[in-house]
Amino acid sequence: MAHPITILEQYWNHTSFRPLQEDIINAVLNNDDTFALLPTGGGKSICFQIPALIKDGICIVISPLIALMKDQVNSLQEKGIKAMAITSGIKYSELDTLLDNCIYGNYKFLYLSPERLQQDIVKQRIAQMNVNLIAVDEAHCISQWGNDFRPAYKHIAILRELQPSVNIIALTATAKPKVIEETIEALDFISPKIFKASFARENISYQVISSEDKMYDLERLLKKHQGASIIYVRSRKLSIDIHNHLEKKGFSTTFFHGGIPTKDKQERLNQWMHNQKQIMVATTAFGMGIDKPDVKTVIHINLPESLESYYQEAGRAGRDGHTSYAFLLTNNSDEQLLKNQFINSLPSLAEIKLIYRKLCNFFQISYGEGVLSTYHFDFSAFCKAYDFGSSKAFNTLQILDRNSIIKLTQQFNYKTKLQFVVSNAAMFSYLETNAYLSTIVKTILRTYGGIFEHQLAINLSLIANKASTNEKEVISVLNQLQKDGIVDFLFANTDSEVIFLQPREDDKTINRIANIIEQQHQLKKDQVNAVLSYVNNDQRCRSRQLLEYFGEATDQDCGKCSVCLNKDTKLKGVSIQSIQKQIIQALENQTLNSRELMEMLDFDKANLLKAIQELLEHEVIAITVANRYKINHT
């Protein structure tokens, strides 16, 4: 049997393990049921991949994250390791072949979603496989009190019946003690070996900054802490807006969100990974499975939805062990915005039943029918057809997805594409006899270069606006051009796909998961309240607050978070009076605004503003008409 370090060197080019990795691997090789809690960046995947490579047979990996499955399979294949992922959209005949390959084709890894374990063909073939290990990734999803609970995870226990002699390793980055206990029980562990790395990230300075001008503070932080950075935002539009703003200010940035084509995602990721771009502005779709060790700062422009997600996202900083920073910018409006997005937009059971029923009607699914049927899905058209608010409708679809009623996949590969298949001369000759088409055709030619040489993705809305018409008219013209043999036109009116996992039974379908939905709603409320408590508590060390949230007690302050630094300033005798003295000195021969004073004096922002306010109240300084501070000599 090969030694774990030999496999690590052969495939990963590392000569040593991270903390706990080798102990976890040895427990797995000893056929122990194993629970591994390794915070983000701790190298969880190696803990099951190395034992699986050492043992004869195939490892079954259960994961809810399709993108992460694909990333890991691609990474293994690049190393010359045979691995596959069975995701949605695979035909029965293809599934049959893939499962046969797992039995006879010397594959080492089979990645599955938990929903796949409900299929008879999958269960039958797993029973025939030479399985050497079962790995359950994101294992907290099995607990009803875990972040992002998925009822389908309860089906994982069927693997115990299919492969009774095979041990299981459960892995997660964020789990409270109650969640760990419930996960171990649900997976029927016997004498489990439990490994828990500390949640402490001693090299990260967690800082909450009160900001009335987030763009200004963002620029200030990026200038002060130069290096690879991630800026997390809540929306796709904001990722683009902040990227454009920073580019105009001279920063090296790119942006990332779920709607970007795969090719562009990879290009932008490579630019950032290789430091060709310093700053990545991203939605929370970015970061999972990405290990860039030299990230200097992670900045949250919006409040996170939970401390679990915040800890994971902030934890992408400083994986090289060097001092790094996790900044959270907040202002007076953030609390209500967070509640509006994650609490007030939670649909009631009645609303979920209505939206589910209308979804079935939208695709004309009869009562008792529809199981495993797949449809291209235009979400905007669905909301418009039934006058649903997009936020509540989308949250409902996510609830249905999480509870295995449907599978909602945002594919972003159904693009409307066009190519002119005749010569330039032939096309203009055609327009002479079909002049009514010329405006739209010429608009396309002026918008998309190379459309005679290549099939290009086109934006119908953009073309319609430029041609002063509507999308319906553009589509009509393109269909006519296709009919006349002038273009090759591939029309796609959707970027999503929905799969119905259960037959339609209207209210009965929802009643079966009603208790789970209520519990999920309560969990979401508790998570939002925990975030607000963390943000508003400026008396207790930020790092200690995070550790205690995850059930890890400590009596040591970190010494580097915003709370500790503020306390340290007071302990060193930097009083409000001493700050006021330096403000007066700075204003002796010039007028300055608060931003300039902050950059010049480098004090804690809250203390600086307090010092300025007291000087104004005592009329030691005054405000000019240009909103600048000056010494009051009157």
Q: Which residue has the tokens 């608060």?
A: 594
What is the reported pLDDT for 572?
56
Q: For 57-90, write each residue's pLDDT tens digit.
A: 999 999 987 778 888 898 899 999 999 999 766 7
pLDDT of residue 579: 86
User: The domain 4-196 belongs to what CATH superfamily?
Assistant: P-loop containing nucleotide triphosphate hydrolases (3.40.50.300)
| pLDDT average, residue stretch 496-502 | 86
Report the phi/psi class of residue 204: left, alpha or beta, with left for phi > 0 and alpha for psi in -120 to 50.
beta
The yes-or-no verdict on residue 413 having pLDDT over 50 is: no
pLDDT band at 411; cut points 50, 70, 90: low
Mean pLDDT of all residues belonging to the chain: 88
Q: Stretch 464-493: mean pLDDT, rounded? A: 86
Lowest mean pLDDT among 56-70, 88-102, 358-372: 88-102
- Mean pLDDT for 539-562 is 91
Q: Which amino acid is at 413?
A: N
pLDDT of residue 145: 73
Domains 4-196 and 204-331+537-549 belong to one CATH topology: yes
* Poorest-pLDDT segment among 14-28, 161-175, 402-416, 493-507: 402-416
Instruction: Count CA atoms closer than 13 A to 557's CA, side-chain side.
Output: 14
- pLDDT band (50, 70, 90) for residue 178: confident
What mean pLDDT do residues 237-256 have? 93
| pLDDT (mean) for 354-380 | 90
Cβ neighbour number for residue 626 with a 10 Å cutoff: 8
Q: Which two tokens stand for residue 421?
A: 């298949």
What confidence score (pLDDT) does residue 520 get?
87
Specify whether the CB–CB gap between 133 and 2 falls below 8 A.
no
Both tokens of 191, joined, read 């004498």
CATH number of 340-413+495-525: 1.10.10
- Nearest-CA neighbor of 323 among 296, 303, 305, 343? 296
- pLDDT tier at 634 (50, 70, 90 boundaries)? low
Instruction: Kindly indicate the confidence band of residue 618, based on its pLDDT and cuts at 50, 70 and 90.
Output: confident
Helix (H, G, I), strand (E, B), or coil: what is residue 214? helix
Q: Write down the domain spans for the chain.
A: 4-196, 204-331+537-549, 340-413+495-525, 417-490, 573-631
Buried b (16+ CB within 10 A) or exposed e, 2-40: eebeebbeebeeeeebeebbbebbebbbeebbbbbbbbb
Residue 415: predicted pLDDT: 66
Q: What is the pLDDT of residues 126-145, one digit of tens each?
A: 999 999 999 999 898 888 77
Q: What is the pLDDT of residue 412?
A: 43
Other C-beta atoms lying within 10 Å of the C-beta of residue 50 = 26
Phi-psi bin for 41: left (phi > 0), alpha (psi -120 to 50), beta?
left
Q: What is the dihedral of CA 37, 40, 44, 46, to 10 degrees?
A: -150
Backbone φ and ψ for 574, nearest 5 degrees, come out as -80, 90
Average pLDDT of span 158-181: 91
How much is the pLDDT for 89?
62
**pLDDT tops 70 at residue 238:** yes
Tokens linked to 94: 């293809």
Residue 53 has pLDDT above 90, yes or no: yes
**Protein fold of 573-631:** Arc Repressor Mutant, subunit A (1.10.10)
Residue 49 · residue 12 · CB < 8 Å: no
- pLDDT of residue 573 exceeding 80, the answer is no
| 568 or 209, greater pLDDT | 209
Report the CATH superfamily, name and number, of domain 204-331+537-549: P-loop containing nucleotide triphosphate hydrolases (3.40.50.300)
Q: For position 126, what pLDDT does the model report?
A: 95
Q: Which residue has the tokens 């041609």?
A: 467
Q: How confident is the model at residue 266 (pLDDT cuts 50, 70, 90)?
A: confident
* pLDDT at residue number 175: 82
> Span 317-322, mean pLDDT?
90
